[in-house]
Amino acid sequence: MSITITTLKESKITKQVVIRTKNTMYVLGIFADRFPVHLYYGKKSRSADTGYHPFERAFSPYYPECGWDYMPNTVESEYPYFGMGDFRASAIRVRDLSTGSDVTEFTFRKMKKYKGRVAIQAPIYGELPYAEADEDTETLEMILDDTVTGCELHLFYTVFPESDVIARHMTLINKGKNTVSLEKCMSLCLDIKRDNLDLISTYGGHGRERMVDRHTVSYGVHRITSRRGASSHMENPCIILCDPKASEERGEAYGFNFVYSGDFLDELEIDQTGKTRVLVGLGDETFSWRLEAGESFTSPEAVMTYAPNGIGEVSRNFHRFTRKHILPPEPFERRPVVLNSWEAFYFNIDGKLMEDFSAGAAEVGMDLPVMDDGWFGARRHDRAGLGDWVATPELFPDGLAAFVERVKAKGDKFGIWIEPEMVNPDSDLYRAHPEWALSAPGRVPLESRNQLVLDMGNPAVVDYLSDILGKTFNGIPFDYFKWDMNRHLTGVYSNILPPERQKEASFRHMCGVYELFRRLRAMFPNAMIENCSGGGGRYDLGMMKYSTQIWTSDNTEPVDRTYIQYGSTLGYPVTTMSCHVANHDSSIEDPRKLNYGFRVAINGPLGYELNILAASETAKATMSEQIKEYRAYEHLILRGDFYRLLSPFECGRYSYYFVSEDSREILLSYLQNFDDAKKTVYKLKISRALPGVTYRDTISGKTYTGEELRRGIEVESDEKGLYAVMWHLVAEA
Ligand code: GLA
């Protein structure tokens, strides 16, 4: 039982809800049968102070009948609404369009709990992505009313006890007579009873995704938001708040994320009372939703976790949760080693070349050659053809199906690149349907990589795309799709919407993108999707619902990758982190670089991206050995628990380990990016090693006791950078 609801007598808090996960506890109460207040989120304990302590402050409006016992402006709120005394950032703002008023007051009516969860219904096209329930999942549903507008608000708390995660979303139903507009819609609010917390977030750009930023949040409002129509390279919805002294394995930390790939908002506010409010939801600058009488809107899902023992624990909670409840089931017995054509040939591909390339892949033990961009329409460069999803006849003289059949006869699997949300103005699709591209009235649309964005909120566009992809790929046994998205949304205006609904266009677009993902998955239930957006521009839980892995970055330079990969592991499991050994700076013919590229790449599912046909026999032999070595560790990489030890952001080194659930097998990695004449010594402490157990390193043959590993293996830096050491530690019987 994770959720307990109790009615209290002779107390200002008339009802109390306690939510328990494996290691955490969340407590909320209903003040005077009217207002949901937050009481506690932290370590699971009987003695935790979950009492209600009103905070009295002048200049705070109050209800005469409650007096200073309940002040909206100072209380810890479960879901603050705009306009009735809480001056801090609000979770919801609803405007009654008959009066123009945006004041609401949502008061408690009732609540219930049940096993499992409800699906999240999108207003168009079916579902939004959300976490799948299992036998332990329970949900608390609370219903609140705003009597003036007649709006009914449902707050959902879905509990995943094993992962220490609580997922939250809301539904607003307009049960009144007048049309209302939902102008701010947050999925989660948490009022933390302290300030002086560190915020860890990731920022970046194309080729430098998820750079780690950590600073103490000061008084006022802090917003991390995307207005790009994608979660983006520049921002990421995952944030961690922690004690300023918190390290990987010490100190309390909270994690938050959003199961959505479009515009989002993480909003923090520290107020006069020294509390930190956290809100996670839809980006409020590019969203509103009109609800006629009887209509409803459901938000995407936000997730939160609490960890008493450090930032690493927040990451592991999210890793476990994502693997178990978000990601699609593993499509194959083992994750295929991909060989991608992009950095090998860019647009200069044809069927014959791809056949040779695929045969080359099979020869060295790679499982899945991927034909990247350039196989369709007039797409010989990035200026034309996008949108025309028909294989170019000159490249495949006897057709795509016959080509794929030949390729698969030589190897095992085969994959192909698509970018369905986009169109080049120089394409048959755009010439036929210019009105399908997002563009503001009277304005010349901005291009980015010579392309425009299709209005996926228009069902005709989604139908067209699923139809053409269905026809072109009909009966062809693809095992993999790389789904790309190479620009952000501008001129967001949908030609099928009336003026008063234009602020819905971005959200509707995202719903259409998810719908097309579902249709492609339904057409190819046995294939996996690798998501991509100019590298890792949509590295988020929404995409992970449909994609087994994500192309982490277009930057394949191993030193840069240590930073990008470190940052990606903060919120996301390494199983999603597609890592290629690439031919950057002709590195594959330099044994030191080829080795370093590989050591960096086996932080996640391994792949290659290079011209295998031009590789020397020596390089090919090395790659064959690398794949064999990766296979020997794959179970730990894809299923083990992940611990970060050294951060490249702090010391130019990345060290981490994977450990099996029973702690009897450990894969430890040390990656040194730069030269170090001082030969600095680092201690790599394996806190999960079992005391009283002896571990043998299968690489060096050395043995270590569990105690020694817990005290730390010493590693001396090499004078030269690009230095990598691994230990594969296996417990002796
Ligand atoms: C994006 C991707 C690359 C490649 C190109 C093709 O940049 O991130 O991996 O697929 O598009 O145009």
Residue 205 has pLDDT above 90, yes or no: yes
Contacts of 584-588 with CB under 8 Å at 24 or more apart are 584/343, 584/556, 584/557, 584/558, 585/557, 587/558, 588/615, 588/619, 588/623
Mutating to test ligand 1, I would choose from 339, 529, 554, 580 the residue with most ligand atoms within 8 A of its C-beta, which is 554
Residue 220 has pLDDT above 80, yes or no: yes
Task: Give me the phi and psi of 633, to 5 degrees please.
Answer: -110, -5
Residue 302 has pLDDT above 80, yes or no: yes
Measure 535 CA to ligand 1 centroid, in angstroms: 7
- Considering the entire predicted model, what is its pTM? 0.98
pLDDT at residue number 199: 98
pLDDT digits (tens, 9 = 90+) for 327-353: 999 999 999 999 999 999 999 999 999
pLDDT at residue number 189: 98
pLDDT at residue number 505: 98
Measure 553 CA to ligand 1 centroid, in angstroms: 10
pLDDT digits (tens, 9 = 90+) for 474-509: 999 999 999 999 999 999 999 999 999 999 999 999
pLDDT, mean of residues 529-538: 98
Among candidates 302, 282, 303, 295, which has minimal Cα distance to 123?
295
> 373 CB less than 6 Å from ligand 1?
yes
Task: Give me the phi and psi of 693, to 5 degrees please.
Answer: -115, 140
Vertex 518 angle, CA 550 and 449, to 5°: 50
List the residue whose alpha carbon is closest to atom 12 of ligand 1: 373
pLDDT, mean of residues 373-396: 98
Residue 411 has pLDDT above 80, yes or no: no
Beta bridge partners of 171: 154, 298
Measure 534 CA to ligand 1 centroid, in angstroms: 5
Among candidates 452, 517, 445, which has minimal Cα distance to 486?
452
Measure 545 CA to ligand 1 centroid, in angstroms: 21
pLDDT, mean of residues 572-601: 94
Which residue out of 479, 554, 641, 676 is catalytically annotated? 554
Mutating to test ligand 1, I would choose from 206, 338, 339, 342 the residue with most ligand atoms within 8 A of its C-beta, which is 342
Cα–Cα distance for residue pair 310/126, rounded to 1 Å: 38
> 417 CB less than 6 Å from ligand 1?
yes
Measure 463 CA to ligand 1 centroid, in angstroms: 25
pLDDT digits (tens, 9 = 90+) for 13-53: 999 999 999 999 999 999 999 999 999 999 998 877 778 99
Measure 537 CA to ligand 1 centroid, in angstroms: 11
- Two structure tokens written together for 730: 């296996």
Mutating to test ligand 1, I would choose from 450, 484, 583 the residue with most ligand atoms within 8 A of its C-beta, which is 484
pLDDT digits (tens, 9 = 90+) for 460-478: 999 999 999 999 999 999 9
> 374 CB less than 6 Å from ligand 1?
no
Nearest ligand 1 atom, CA 535: 8
Residue 586 has pLDDT above 90, yes or no: no
pLDDT at residue number 239: 98
List the residue whose alpha carbon is closest to atom 7 of ligand 1: 534
Nearest ligand 1 atom, CA 382: 12
> 609 CB less than 6 Å from ligand 1?
no
Beta bridge partners of 17: 5, 28
> 484 CB less than 6 Å from ligand 1?
yes
> 485 CB less than 6 Å from ligand 1?
no
pLDDT, mean of residues 310-323: 98
**Mapping DSSP to helix (H, G, I), strand (E, B) and coil, where does residue 557 land?**
coil
- Please count the other Cβ atoms lying within 10 Å of the Cβ belonging to residue 453: 25
pLDDT at residue number 44: 93
> 31 CB less than 6 Å from ligand 1?
no
Kindly report the average pLDDT of the chain as a whole number: 97
> 125 CB less than 6 Å from ligand 1?
no
pLDDT digits (tens, 9 = 90+) for 64-90: 999 999 999 999 999 999 999 999 999
**Mapping DSSP to helix (H, G, I), strand (E, B) and coil, where does residue 10 land?**
coil
List the residue whose alpha carbon is closest to atom 3 of ligand 1: 534
Which residue out of 96, 373, 484, 676 is catalytically annotated? 484
> 551 CB less than 6 Å from ligand 1?
yes
Measure 209 CA to ligand 1 centroid, in angstroms: 15
pLDDT band for position 91 (cuts 50, 70, 90) = very high
List the residue whose alpha carbon is closest to atom 1 of ligand 1: 534
**Mapping DSSP to helix (H, G, I), strand (E, B) and coil, where does residue 226 land?**
coil
- Please count the other Cβ atoms lying within 10 Å of the Cβ belonging to residue 49: 11
Cα–Cα distance for residue pair 625/644, rounded to 1 Å: 26
Cα–Cα distance for residue pair 502/591, rounded to 1 Å: 56
235 to 210, 213, 263, 299, 536: CA distances (angstroms): 8, 11, 10, 20, 11
pLDDT band for position 587 (cuts 50, 70, 90) = confident
Measure 44 CA to ligand 1 centroid, in angstroms: 46
484 is catalytic: yes
Residue 585 has pLDDT above 80, yes or no: no
Measure 349 CA to ligand 1 centroid, in angstroms: 14
List the residue whose alpha carbon is closest to atom 2 of ligand 1: 534
Mutating to test ligand 1, I would choose from 417, 450, 530, 609 the residue with most ligand atoms within 8 A of its C-beta, which is 417
Q: Residues of the chain with pLDDT > 90: what percent?
A: 97
Nearest ligand 1 atom, CA 534: 8
Nearest ligand 1 atom, CA 533: 8
DSSP string, 687-715: TTSPTT-EEEETTT--EEEHHHHHH-EEE
List the residue whose alpha carbon is closest to atom 6 of ligand 1: 373
Residue 409 has pLDDT above 80, yes or no: yes
